[in-house]
């Protein structure tokens, strides 16, 4: 079967790495739903079924894979959903809390993680495979060159860790990049303490020209920017720093 470049399909075939992913899943009896995103031809599916989780769900967009999965794993029945994960209402198909598992399509991996953030009250944890560059962005702390908008947004609500890398030869077809697996778990932050819309706006504005100092990129909010931030660049600020700026903006505009 020919893989579709438009769907970012690279199927993991190396059993050693498959085993590592399965054993790295956060303890499954804590989650009401174990949700596999993009099962493909079922490399992870076979092992997930062996976990005997009471509510295991699989979401696959490619109709060819759906047909193949139904043939090879007839026990899936209604637990296999033929849909686009980005368009699915998780509240309708999942029992909370959810643990998300999968080899995430490279071309929409950032969009997937933005949906995770939006559904953070449902998705409490996950383990996923990404292009290494994206995995680094997702798990980086402030001060790193990889630290960016997605780093701030995701780590505001999740604790993240990069587990291991996977070389191209472990896939079919081999991608032109190294892959990496990350794990994320919901942290204790229930609320930001400020408007989430403002928080997103400030962070995006700061990183819009990441080589410039914040006195230039956050010129709109300069009156609310402590002098200690003026000469810094966006990657130098922690999540708490961005929240401090947003809290000051709100406090002085009440």
CATH class of 196-251: mainly alpha
Burial of 240 (0-12, 13-18, 19+ CB in 10 A): exposed
How do the domains of the chain map onto residue ranges? 5-186, 196-251
- Residue by residue, pLDDT tens for the chain (254 residues) are 454 444 445 789 999 999 999 999 987 778 999 999 999 999 999 999 999 999 999 999 999 999 999 999 999 999 999 999 999 999 999 999 999 999 998 889 999 999 999 999 999 999 999 999 999 999 999 999 999 999 999 999 999 999 999 999 999 888 889 999 999 999 999 899 999 999 999 999 999 999 999 999 999 999 999 999 999 999 999 999 999 999 999 998 87
Give dist(CA 137, CA 104) in Å, integer. Answer: 15
Q: Given this model, what pLDDT does residue 2 score?
A: 52
Cα–Cα nearest to 103, from 213, 214, 22, 196:
22
Superfamily of domain 5-186: Vaccinia Virus protein VP39 (3.40.50.150)
Residue 3: the pLDDT is: 47
Look at residue 8 in the predicted model and tell me its pLDDT: 47
Within the chain, strands assigned E span: 11-12, 33-37, 56-60, 80-82, 98-103, 123-131, 158-166, 171-172, 179-186
- Report pLDDT for 28: 72
**What angle (nearest 5°) sits at the alpha carbon of residue 160, between those of residues 41 and 101?**
20
Query: Six-digit token pair at 114?
Result: 């933005």
Q: Residue 8 phi/psi, 5° resolution?
A: 60, 40
Indicate if 196-251 has the same CATH topology as 5-186. no
In the prediction, which pLDDT does 124 show? Answer: 96
Per-residue model confidence (pLDDT) at position 148:
96
pLDDT in tens, 73-85: 999 999 999 999 9
3-state secondary structure 186-243: ECCCCCCCCCHHHHHHHHHHHHCCCCCCHHHHCHHHHHHCCHHHHCCCHHHCCHHHHH
């Amino acid at each position: 079967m020919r893989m579709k470049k438009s769907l970012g399909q690279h199927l993991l075939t190396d059993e050693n790495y498959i085993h590592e992913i399965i054993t790295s899943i956060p303890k499954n009896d804590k989650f009401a739903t174990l949700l596999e995103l993009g099962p493909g031809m079922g490399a992870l599916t076979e092992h997930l079924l062996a976990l005997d989780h009471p509510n295991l769900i699989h979401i696959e967009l490619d109709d060819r894979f759906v047909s193949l999965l139904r043939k090879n794993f007839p026990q899936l029945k209604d637990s296999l959903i033929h849909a686009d994960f980005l368009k699915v209402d998780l509240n309708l198909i999942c029992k909370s809390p959810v643990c998300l598992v999968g080899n995430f399509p490279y071309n929409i991996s950032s969009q997937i993680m933005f949906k995770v953030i939006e559904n953070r009250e449902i998705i409490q944890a996950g383990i996923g495979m990404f292009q290494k560059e994206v995995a680094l962005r997702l798990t980086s702390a402030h001060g790193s060159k990889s630290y960016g908008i997605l780093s701030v947004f995701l780590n505001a609500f999740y604790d993240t860790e990069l587990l291991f890398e996977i070389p191209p030869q472990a896939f079919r077809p081999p991608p032109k990049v190294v892959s990496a697996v990350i794990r994320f778990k919901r942290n204790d932050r229930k609320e930001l303490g400020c408007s989430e819309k403002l928080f997103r706006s400030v962070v995006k504005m700061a990183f819009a020209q990441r080589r410039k100092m914040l006195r230039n990129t956050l010129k709109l909010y300069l009156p609310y920017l402590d002098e200690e931030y003026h000469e810094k660049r966006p990657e130098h600020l922690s999540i708490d720093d961005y929240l401090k700026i947003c809290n000051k903006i709100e406090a002085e505009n009440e």
